[in-house]
Structure 1
């Protein structure tokens, strides 16, 4: 792959890499599962700080991409080759069973809870059980500091975003939209459907790291009575 070229290079049957300027690569994947599998393989290589991986400063997962942020002096040709080699292992990776687990207590008092029940054909108590009984996984962050897109929950909870977003969503609001669930870390506008509230702090600048949730973590929602 030429860093200056515009054509993507294939990495296996479902991954490909594209240059992003002179100091990053964008790996396109089939879905979030493939992204997290690749992130799980690349993370230890970057932490080992050996060879071309010593030039990598950050890995940024998203819904179907993984951004590999390097330094301006990095040989992107060599880095792309290393990513391709790692991707072969990612395709055979066994899902980790020892990922950090975070429990989030929730009061299921959201203004959209009954509407979510109607949209899914579930009773309100079934919506709550569906949200709490299956574990969620942190796919990626975005939207606001500390906000995590959670994936892998009960597919019965897949609902569209609100047609008209709210201009104010309180901090701690627990919501669902599409295949995702999430917790608003601060007051902000938002179009997700609000099903509950939590007092847990998602973003704290005095904490290291400030974000409570990171990609690959497991999240269990627990009903707070």
Structure 2
């Protein structure tokens, strides 16, 4: 594996591996290869691995590492990461899950979709088609528990964040910010352009795997009517 990343300290109990900082499927593939390579290791010092668009954060037990290795954590982690990622010629990791997520694009649930259509001199149906015809990759989850950052939307849909964020965005709201699309898993303030809503629960703390989406998943949005949206919502 070619380590095209640099390692930086992140506080006293974490390091971050950074690739070229851009949204790129090729770069994200390297992130995920490194993620699975380190996850397959046996070090008890590593507590968590957090993949993102072009970086991987590694949280480690600094106290235990100092006690047993007697060298600085950054020095030990750098050596371990290099060894773990360069000695494995190939890394096997699971095929991405294919998720189909229902979304109702009715303006009552997508308050920005009408303005987005008007600004492009197209019909709302065009916005729906552009958004739902693309298969997106989940690059990371963050901001809120289970918030999936996905990309990239087609160029016609790319839209800057709202200048004035909303104080309340309902859970399940599907939005666009720049070339990204995402889903608010919880009620929250937010500045993304909201074009619809899914009736599915994106985060459920009662489940063993609380996040509906995971990094690496491939997602396609399925347009549904307001009636179907309500039916699915009642079944959740």
TM over 0.5: yes
Partner of 2:41: 49
- Summarize the alignment of residues 130-141 of structure 1 with structure 2, pairs less than 5 Å apart: 130-141=130-141
Unmatched segments (≥5 aa) in structure 2:
66-72, 226-236
- Is the Cα–Cα contact under 8 Å of residues 38 and 81 in structure 2 kept in the other structure? no
Distance 1:89 1:123 in 2: 54
Structure 2 residue 148 is matched with structure 1 residue 161: no
Q: CA RMSD in A?
A: 2.8
Counterparts in 2 of 1:47 and 1:64: CA distance versus 1, 3 Å:
closer
Deviates more, 1:145-154 or 1:112-121: 112-121
**Structure 1 residue matching 2:207: 3-state secondary structure:** coil
Partner of 1:69: 59
**Structure 1 residue matching 2:162: 3-state secondary structure:** coil
Counterparts in 2 of 1:151 and 1:84: CA distance versus 1, 3 Å:
farther
Deviation per residue, 1:108-160 (Å, 9 max, x gap): 12111122223445432221111111111111112211211111332321101
Distance 1:198 1:42 in 2: 32
**Structure 1 residue matching 2:164: 3-state secondary structure:** coil
**Structure 1 residue matching 2:131: 3-state secondary structure:** helix
Distance 1:38 1:19 in 2: 20
What is the deviation of 1:82? 4.3
- Is the Cα–Cα contact under 8 Å of residues 38 and 85 in structure 2 kept in the other structure? no
Q: 2:100 aligns with which of 103, 112, 115?
A: 103
Structure 2 residue 126 is matched with structure 1 residue 129: no
Unmatched segments (≥5 aa) in structure 1:
1-10
Counterparts in 2 of 1:199 and 1:206: CA distance versus 1, 3 Å:
same
Deviation per residue, 1:70-116 (Å, 9 max, x gap): 221445334324434666699x989x893011111011121111222
What is the deviation of 1:21? 3.1
What is the deviation of 1:64? 3.5
- Summarize the alignment of residues 160-199 of structure 1 with structure 2, pairs less than 5 Å apart: 160-199=160-199
Q: TM-score, normalised by structure 2?
A: 0.77
Structure 2 residue 39 is matched with structure 1 residue 16: no
Q: TM-score, normalised by structure 1?
A: 0.81
- Is the Cα–Cα contact under 8 Å of residues 9 and 15 in structure 2 kept in the other structure? yes
Give the number of the structure whose alpha-carbon radius of gyration is greater.
2
Q: 2:32 aligns with which of 40, 44, 51?
A: 40
Distance 1:147 1:36 in 2: 18
